[in-house]
Amino acid sequence: LMTQSPATLSVSPGKRATLYCRASHSVSPNLAWYQQKPGQAPRLLIHGASTRATGIPARFTAGGSGTDFTLTISSLQPEDFAVYYCQQYNNWPHTFGQGTKVEI
């Protein structure tokens, strides 16, 4: 079971946002983060708990180990307002968190 918090995060543009993801048992380092904008497919941001995917800006950083993980967006840009999902791929079935909506 993957639990994300908070469910909704209200942040002003230019400010920092930190999202949390907790697993019910250790999944390290097999944790990914995805971004989904309205009407679009998800997009890979982070894999291996902390490795940015190709083309992902450096303002997205992630870390954590064991059961607790974070995704930080250092200075929110207008295009960053979206829903973010974590997913563990350490065990079958791969499971997603319920998502965190980052809103203005």
Partner 1 sequence: DVQLVQSGAEVKRPGESLKISCEGSGYNLTTHWIGWVRQMPGKGLEWMGIIYPGDSDTRYNPSFQGQVTISADTSMSTAYLQWSSLKASDTAIYYCARYITYYRYYYFHYIDVWGGGTTVTVSS
Q: Is 93 in the site for partner 1 (CB under 8 A)?
A: yes
Amino acid found at 25: H
Shortest reach from residue 12's CB to partner 1, in Å? 25
Shortest reach from residue 23's CB to partner 1, in Å? 14
Instruction: Specify whether the CB–CB gap between 27 and 87 falls below 8 A.
Output: no
From 16-24, 55-63, 67-75, 85-93, give the range in contact with partner 1 by CB under 8 A.
Answer: 85-93
Q: Is 7 in the site for partner 1 (CB under 8 A)?
A: no
From 16-24, 62-70, 71-79, 90-98, give the range in contact with partner 1 by CB under 8 A.
Answer: 90-98
d(CA 55, CA 70): 20
58's tokens: 């450096």
Site for partner 1 in 29-68 (CB under 8 A): 30, 32, 34, 36, 41-44, 47-48, 53
Q: b vs e for 11-44, b when ≥16 Cβ sit within 10 Å of the residue's Cβ?
A: beeeeebebbbbbeeebbebbbbbbeeeeeebee
